[in-house]
Amino acid sequence: MRFAKYHGTRNDFVLVEDLEATLRLPQDLVAAVCDRHAGIGADGLIRVVRGDASGGAGADFFMDYHNADGEVAEMCGNGIRCLGKYVYDRGLTTATEIDVDSRDGIKHLTLHPVDGVVEQVTVDMGTPALRLGEIPMRGDPASTFLSQPYEVAGRTYLASAVSMGNPHLVLFLEPGDDLEGLDVAALGSLVERRDEFPNRTNVEFVQMVDDSIHMRVWERGSGQTLACGTGACAVMVASSLAGLTGREADVLLPGGRLHVRWGTDDRVLMTGPATWVADGELSEAWIAQATAGSLAGAGGSR
């Protein structure tokens, strides 16, 4: 099985081309591929399918996205930029405006090639969902959870819940707090599986520095990562609603910078880089071992 490795602001992915939708990728195989010790290593896996082969009416391609633990997820902002670069650079499309279907619906991508190579991609991420029933978060389905106190490990944060097709809880730090020294893994893993999030949640830790939003993230099903595109969009929306910024800002993550604009039409546009790393091939013997669960770390080490 051929694969390609890409990253978007150092949020890294294995991409598998399956244009006619013939491959089966069981959860244990995806988890083994994403394992950083026994596999290729990645924050997630993307199966690239033609839109008509996936049943996505009107879409050019379908992004079948899996978290590093092998479970499918609704959307991945950094991953969809990598898919856009992949299909353009490899000649699967000549268009610089494409529609990509996902489990969160069709997303419109604008590709920005330089000398025939895509370096930046803008994604229309759609409109944020703020009602608890849409996130989902337990409570009155019609209510919201914005700039509310939220206790984690003995400390109370101001927090906001936002969905960008997948659930996010944004925790705001004070200006004097040490964002870099924060134990994101310990705190994020506590919040991810709390009872109030029936589908679990992504967790963002945010601090305003001048006019930029600084962010670290714990991703549902993948753990601590260097960037999260949907998370950056959720953080932008939450920060704007909290009065900490306007409707457009740079979001600075450990892996790099994303620019996010929340338009007056309520749609969120995210622009950021996409980078090719390597191509390779998984042997049939390795795949057989992975699906049998005999590889060290395979089947949910994360």
**CATH code 3.10.310.10 region(s) in the chain:** 2-125+274-292, 148-266
Across the chain, which distance is largest between two alpha carbons, in Å? 55
Q: Which residue, 87, 123, 96, is CA-closest to 276? A: 87
Is the CATH number 3.40.50.170 carried by domain 148-266?
no
**Spatial separation of the C-alpha atoms in residues 58 and 64, rounded to whole Å:** 16
- The DSSP 8-state label assigned to residue 38 in this structure reads T
34 catalytically annotated:
no
**Per-position pLDDT tens, the chain of length 302:** 999 999 999 999 999 999 999 998 999 999 999 999 999 999 999 999 999 887 767 899 999 999 999 999 999 999 999 999 999 999 999 999 999 999 999 999 999 999 999 999 999 999 999 999 999 999 999 999 999 999 999 999 999 999 999 999 999 999 889 999 999 999 999 999 999 999 999 999 999 988 889 999 999 999 999 999 999 999 999 999 999 999 999 999 999 999 999 999 999 999 999 999 999 999 999 999 888 876 644 333 33
What's the full length of the chain, in residues?
A: 302
Q: Which of 34, 82, 228, 233 is catalytic?
A: 228
Q: Is 181 left (phi over 0), alpha (psi -120 to 50) or beta?
A: alpha
Is the CATH number 3.60.21.10 carried by domain 2-125+274-292?
no
Range 197-214 burial, b when 16+ CB lie within 10 A, else e: beeebbbbbbbbeeeebb
Q: Are strands 61-67 and 105-114 parallel, antiparallel or unpaired?
A: unpaired
Helix, coil or strand: residue 82? helix
pLDDT one-digit tens code per residue, 33-73: 999 999 999 999 999 999 988 776 789 999 999 999 999 99
pLDDT (0 to 100) of residue 291: 86
Q: Which of 34, 76, 82, 233 is catalytic?
A: 76
pLDDT (0 to 100) of residue 297: 45
Helix residue spans in the chain (DSSP H): 27-34, 51-54, 77-89, 184-192, 229-241, 284-292
pLDDT (0 to 100) of residue 54: 74
pLDDT (0 to 100) of residue 293: 75
